[in-house]
Amino acid sequence: MNMTHYMSLLASNQPWNLIIFMVIPVICAEALTITEFFIIFNRSNAGGLRTFNKVVGIFAGIYFTGIFIYLFSTAFIPLTTSSGWHTWVDVVAVGFYLSGVLFLLPIALLELGVIGRKKSQEEKMKIHFLLISGFLVVAHIAMIFGMVNPEIVGNMSNMSDMSAM
């Protein structure tokens, strides 16, 4: 079975790529989501859980921005310029994965006070919740399309070798 570049990336260099590109971002997103529910439910503006949420949000945003820069320059651009994509399914999987930066980076910037300084605590909580929700949506779309065999939507005979990624 042929794989998308997304799945190929996770499957190669085991277990390191899986940990770097999937485990760490997903654990951060899950930790943010779970703590977010408690913070919103209890209307917590301070405390250990809020501090943990803030630290994880900053870490996740900076970490995923690093992943984005690395994969955009070493995978996305080369695959695009060489026509190395394994059908549109591959583009969707990688594109949605990389779009996670649009949600995690603003969380870090919000927590660092770079953006949203004039927002109330409740407005920041709403923005934070929407951003983590957006990340979960794009991450799941990436995972779903990443697991699809690209051959079911098109012939890959003219595509380049997947091991180049």
Angle at 137 between CA 162 and CA 32, to 5 degrees: 110
Place of tokens 């603003």: 106
Reading the block at residue 150, the tokens are 């690209």
Taking the alpha carbons at both ends of the chain, their separation in whole angstroms is 17
Q: Cα-flanking dihedrals φ and ψ of residue 54, to 5°?
A: -65, -45
Report yes or no: 67 and 99 within 8 Å, Cβ to Cβ. no
Rounded Cα distance between 133 and 127, Å, is 10
Q: What is the pTM of this model?
A: 0.85
So what's the pLDDT on residue 156? 54
Query: What is the CA 37 to chain-centroid distance, rounded?
Result: 20
Mean pLDDT per block of 10 residues along the chain (165 residues) reads 81 89 93 91 85 96 97 92 89 94 97 92 90 95 91 64 46
